Structure 1
Amino acid sequence: MLFKGNKIVVNMFGSNLHINSVTKILFILFLAIFLLPLNSQSQTKEVVALKGDGIYRLLTRYGLSSVEYMDDFIALNKSNLGQNNTLFAGVKYKLPDTAKLPATPAASTTPSKGTGKMVHYDIFGSKYADVEILSNDLKGAVYYLVGGHGGPDPGAVGKYNGYHVYEDEYAYDVTLRLARKLIENGATVYMITRDKNDGIRDEYSLKADKDEVCYPNLKIPLNQTKRLRQRTDAVNQLYKKHKGSFQRMIAVHVDSRSRSENIDIFFYHDKRSETGEKACKILRDTIEKKYHEHQPNRGYTGTVSNRNLYVVRSTWPTAIFIELGNMNHQRDVKRLVIPDNRQAVANWLTLGLITDYKTNK
């Protein structure tokens, strides 16, 4: 403590400490207080890949959506990935920081510049009702989406972890997600099979009901022929309204086969329709490419063929009939029950439909 006139000056660092030493100490304190915490917060969590791990499995194990964070993971770990983005067992990989990173382009069909336009559709449910138009890639295109079965007919029924999996509920959820993605890209979309209160659901187990209707609000009959004719008539009436526009009818189902038969997403078209065959091949090739990117060791065996199905041969727009898998095979059912998987299918189908539109309009 020093006396200077009538003032008392406190020398905190001792009388023998020079001013430059004080400056250095203050600088060190600044680094310790402000910079070191920032550095520790920015450290990315690292995890070790196990034998047999792919990126999808690793992200899922740590609670991350493969749809949202696949591209971020690849960008963070590019130098430690093998051919086709494979993982090496025993190697450490960085996980994306979910608090800092927004959803990547894997969660949307195009880079989002946005048109600034928002539209509202109650049919998607409260969480997803507000839809931003992200692009005009599908402006002028009209789609009629038909979720398989519905009303009194649940379609194929499988089991997963002790609960029933109904074809109409899961096909409808994928169809809703597809509808929303198409609208995001500027398309006009009609949901032919409709449920006023389901909306897009993010649960594994989707509760079954029988309140689906046919556009615009028609009770679905139990008789199969009447049911198919009803939805075909709905599509064809709308087709006349949009005559001259680019139009597609897309039916979404889940197949039912032997329990031993694991199948991939596959497609049917009308044997008379070259355009339908071309569209189906584009969708198949798009999904094959996406599986190659995200699960390179998985492989893909989806097929395209013609089949004499009522809705395929009787609807006037070019028809695409999609089977999402085998309801009796556990691996196929798992593809359905995981919400991220249902969204990924919708995303990839949208990419294929954009290609179909751009090469045919």
Structure 2
Amino acid sequence: MLTIILNFSIFKSDCDGSSVKRFLLLFILLQAFWINTSIAQSTPKTVIAVSGDGIHKILIKNGFDPIKYYKEFVRLNKKNISRSNGLFIGKKYILPNEGSGTTSSSSADDKSIDFPLFGKKYAKVPIESNALKGAIYYLISGHGGPDPGAVAKRSGRTISEDEYAYDVTLRLARSLLAQGAEVYLIIQDKNDGIRDESILKVDYDEVNYPNQKIPRSQKLRLRQRTASVNKLFKQNGKAYQRLVVTHVDSRSQREKIDVFFYHHKNSKSGKRLATNLQKTFKQKYAKYQPNRKYTGTVESRSNLYVIRNTLPPVVYIELGNLKNTADQRRILNATNRDALAKWIAEGLTLDYSKSK
């Protein structure tokens, strides 16, 4: 401000009255702009929640990346958010300032995002394309918390279904994010991340989105994750939304199985989703294992609780038989788990491209 006034004094001595007046008018306008801009920057923008609004939806509607700004929004509005991080209709909520996101963040060139849940090695996710921009995925890895699912022995150590289903699901989430999708991990373990070991340590600290303790009762567990998906589905409106559930089957030790898929018997979208995944796996087997016939099937299984009670079209994936030695080799190898996740992601991308 001092520099402008000094320059004005010099200017005044060399100019006529009309020039001085014009300069004075310009100076006043610039000063008013500076004051108004300062006020605007210091006053946080607020919005009022309406029916159907959730944190993710309200952030998206106002131009914020929900992955990047979720934690900051919760911090700013914790007094007006329910225990399950829900919003109240009619309440006023403060929007974050640009650049204040902390949970995940975009790099300076917007070519990657940080997703801490994947662990230090895999947290930075390169954005490869916008092939899945506009698509929303809810990912449920089977069992978790107090329930490890199927268990078996490998090299004298216990291995469990939930750890391997979770690792594949994290890898799948990473592949989907890299193609521009919006992803919700319904089962989460903040300590594990993506792991490259063959024997994954069994633990019981997984939680249900957003941060709910998983109950011991199987019925309550299934209700809890179903409720989380359905709530998000309603908040996200008419967008392309799909649910992917991953499990590792438990059968006779002698029975080797290929990856297969279930869907709801009355869901055309769910059947198409499962069929596109099966088609992708057939193509991959033909390319990488041409001497081995792929036998993975597509079936309807509406008696399964999650398939029967969730709102978005769902595909339920069985990755193999945990007790079969050959299937164990496929699932315990981290490179194979990565391939499984990428093939599933390709099948999901195929389905999304056909829905447009």
The answer, yes or no, to whether TM exceeds 0.5 is yes
Q: Report runs of 4+ in structure 1 exceeding 3 Å deviation.
A: none
**2:196 maps to which of 192, 202, 219:** 202
Q: Does residue 123 of structure 2 align to residue 139 of structure 1?
A: no
Report if the CA contact (8 A) 1:267-1:322 is conserved. yes
Give the match for residue 334 of structure 1: 329
Corresponding residue to 1:294 among 288, 291, 302: 288
Unaligned runs of 5+ in 2: 1-108
Secondary structure of the structure 1 residue equivalent to 2:329: helix
Cα deviation, residue 117, structure 1: 2.0
Aligned letter for 2:335?
D
* Pairs within 5 Å for 1:159-170: 159-170=153-164
CA offset at residue 195 of structure 1? 0.3
Letter in 1 for 2:230: N
Aligned position for 2:89: none
The CA deviation at 1:159 is 2.0
CA-to-aligned-CA distance 1:77-96 (integer Å, 9 cap, x gap)? xxxxxxxxxxxxxxxxxxxx
The equivalent residue for 1:266 is 260
Paired with 2:209 and 2:338, the residues of 1 have a C-alpha distance of 24
**Residue in 1 that maps onto 2:355:** 360
Counterpart check, 1:152 vs 2:134? no
Structure having the higher Rg: 1
Listed as ranges, the matches of 1:205-284 within 5 Å are: 205-284=199-278
Could you tell me which amino acid in structure 1 is paired with residue 183 of structure 2? V
Per-residue deviation at 1:160? 2.1
RMSD between aligned alpha carbons? Answer: 0.9
| Structure 2 Cα separation of the partners of residues 315 and 348 of structure 1 | 24
* Shift of residue 285, structure 1, vs aligned partner: 1.1
Cα deviation for residue 263 of structure 1 reads 0.4
- What SS class does the counterpart of residue 261 from structure 2 fall into? strand
Give the aligned length.
247
Map residues 1-361 of structure 1 onto 2, 5 A cutoff: 116-307=110-301, 308-361=303-356
Aligned residue for 1:344, secondary structure, equals helix
TM-score (structure 2 length as normaliser): 0.68
Q: TM-score, normalised by structure 1?
A: 0.67
| CA distance in structure 1 between the partners assigned to 2:199 and 2:296 by the alignment | 26
Q: How many Å apart are 1:350 and its aligned residue?
A: 0.7
Shift of 1:116: 4.6
Q: Within 2, Cα distance between the matches of 1:265 and 1:313?
A: 21
CA contact (8 A) 1:116 1:132 kept: no
